[in-house]
Amino acid sequence: MMLGKLSALCTLAVVFLSRSDVADGIVFREEFASAVVGQTLYVHGGTLIDIGTQTPINEFYALNLSTSFNVTTAPWTSLNETLGPIRIPALRSHVGGFGGPNDNLFFVYGGLNATNASSSSVYYYDPSASTWNQPVVSNSPDNGPVGALAVSHPQSHIIYVYDEQNSLQQAVFALDTHDLTNLNFKVISPQVTGPPGPRAYATWSLLSTGVAVLIGGSQGPTGAWFDLTTIYTFDTTSLAWSSHNTTGITPSPRIQHSAVVTYADEIVVYGGTFKSTLPPDPLVILSTVNGTYNWRALNLTNSPYSKYEFTLTGAYFAGNALIFFDDPDGSIHDLDTNAWQWTNSYVPQELLFNTTFTPTSTVNPTYSPFVAKPSSAAVRARVTGWVVMTIMGALTTAVIL
């Protein structure tokens, strides 16, 4: 399978928003799901913990990434009046992604529902009809994952969900969305020595090679933190996990950080928390050229406060990442990854090249039938804010709120 980076957007934008910056009523939230679908960033659900509640909300917003805007006046659009018989689901600690036969639908799965019970339902939003749908999905787990990680794979139309905190199975669940009349889950059985083991507050980012890179996190909500000199990858072609030693600098361990892949297949990691404080190297870059992994740190002028919160995984093919999290100076910031500098304006740029790749393996994907009920993972603790990169929890993609 060949994957092409076909978007007209190529600049990675890291945008941080405070509640006072948002025009259409979107306020600070935690544990929400988000994804870039086409040229639009969608933000769904979450909880308004800052006002003393952990009840999931059913709010839904969109941000158009195809036009320029000043970071102080991001043009958010409320989609809370969507049409159709299915109401906007109230969820938190769920995952979001793009899918469908044309990769133009916004999917959400798992998390906790309005009664704070584990949700096993799949929903998708169709922008062309402005409707939510709750499809029948075969082989769906009885309990959906809580605080999981997800990546969306272009062309195969599969959303891979990694229940990172599930100590019993350590499986990856594959939601095949290419046929909306026959949606189904398949479980990729864990290898004996392959999976990285349970962890919390990590990030999972898909490269153009079809390899998803797992970075950071801790051994459960209160466990030891993982060293970033060793990373784990999941190959969506061979369906195998592997570990890799990195070169370059030694980044500080971190949890609740943000991560997003640029058009050059570099992973930008920003913010997070390090031993109850901010990491001394908040902005680090992981180069993934030729299957090698090399870290470097950037110390840019006028860098925003690198607090941790939600991370919204921006898809590499969209060329944008929105990071949402608590920025005490109440401003939005944009990181231009061509010039590597913070700017006051978001400006989409034309993609000047067309890149395709050959999968890292020719092994035909095989799946195991879903036979065991996965246990529900512990809810991830969340903090404040977001990134224009990846959203979910006290940290999820790259605009920050």
pLDDT per residue of the chain (401 residues) written in tens, 0 to 9: 434 433 323 333 344 333 333 444 567 777 889 888 988 889 899 987 665 668 899 999 998 888 888 877 778 899 998 788 899 999 999 999 999 999 999 999 999 999 999 999 999 999 999 999 999 999 988 888 998 999 999 889 999 999 876 655 567 899 999 999 999 999 887 665 677 878 888 999 999 899 999 999 988 767 788 999 999 999 999 998 999 999 999 999 998 888 888 878 899 898 888 777 778 888 899 999 888 999 999 988 777 665 554 443 333 333 444 444 444 444 556 777 777 877 777 777 654 333 333 333 333 333 333 332 323 222 222 222 223 333 233 333 333 33
Tell the residue number behind the tokens 């989409």, with chain if given: 348
pLDDT on residue 73: 79
Query: Taking a C-beta distance cutoff of 8 angstroms, is the pair 333, 323 a contact?
Result: no
pLDDT on residue 359: 36
State the sign of the Cα–Cα–Cα–Cα dihedral 15, 19, 20, 22. positive
pLDDT on residue 333: 64
Cα 65-216-195 angle, rounded to 5 deg: 105
Query: Taking a C-beta distance cutoff of 8 angstroms, is the pair 108, 37 a contact?
Result: no
DSSP state letters, 343-400 = ESEE---------EE--S--PPP--B---SPPPPPPPPP--SEEEES--SSS--BBEE
pTM of the model: 0.81
Query: Taking a C-beta distance cutoff of 8 angstroms, is the pair 101, 157 a contact?
Result: yes
DSSP state letters, 247-268 = EE--PPP-BS-EEEE-TTSEEE
Query: Taking a C-beta distance cutoff of 8 angstroms, is the pair 387, 397 a contact?
Result: yes
pLDDT on residue 261: 85
Architecture label for domain 1-401: 6 Propeller (2.120)
Cα–Cα distance for residue pair 29/324, rounded to 1 Å: 9
pLDDT on residue 51: 58
C-alpha gyration radius of the chain = 19
Query: Taking a C-beta distance cutoff of 8 angstroms, is the pair 7, 39 a contact?
Result: yes
